[in-house]
Amino acid sequence: MSPRIVYCHCAYADILPAEVKREVLRRLSAAGVAFEAVPDLCEMSARKDPALQRIADAGPVRIAACFPRAVQWLFHAAGSPLPEEGVEVLNQREQSAEAIVERLLSHEAPAALPAGAELEAAPKPISGENGAAAAQEAQK
């Protein structure tokens, strides 16, 4: 069974190269394979969209988005952590469209999330009028 494919368009932040996003989407559409296109995983995480839990629970998946650790945190923050196995995140910020589509269309099992991508406790936000002073104080 081929892994499911999820494509993130990163619609609400201009962090992915537009030409990579366009080419990945074009090639996926031309390949005639089933895939789920989501507008923005960050926004979905902020809303705790139930679709994230469905994606996390539905078995092997390849996700074209951004940094693997960021995607892992987005699912975790939404209360829908990704499983440790059967998930591969392809980085549209750093990989070529050709390399991404080649992996998305592969029938091989998804590669695991990168070693060292374990989630640690989230850092506490620095608040107050003088965040720099608070940050210096926290380092003492």
The predicted pLDDT at position 38 comes to 97
Q: CA separation (Å) from 108 to 30, 43, 136? A: 20, 30, 48
**pTM of the entire predicted model:** 0.80
Residue 130: pLDDT band by 50, 70, 90 thresholds? Answer: very low
- What pLDDT does 67 receive? 95
For residue 99, the model assigns a pLDDT of: 97
State pLDDT tens for residues 113-123.
Answer: 665 445 444 43
Question: Within 10 Å of residue 55's Cβ, how many Cβ atoms?
Answer: 22
If one counts every other C-beta atom within 10 angstroms of the C-beta of residue 27, the result is 17
The phi, psi pair for 75, rounded to 5°, reads: -65, -45
All domains of the chain, ordered by start, with CATH? 4-114 (3.40.50)
CA 6 vs CA 44, 59, 134: distances in Å = 13, 12, 40
Local confidence band at 46 (pLDDT 50, 70, 90 cut-offs): very high
Measuring CA to CA, which residue among 124, 119, 110, 122 is closest to residue 81? 119
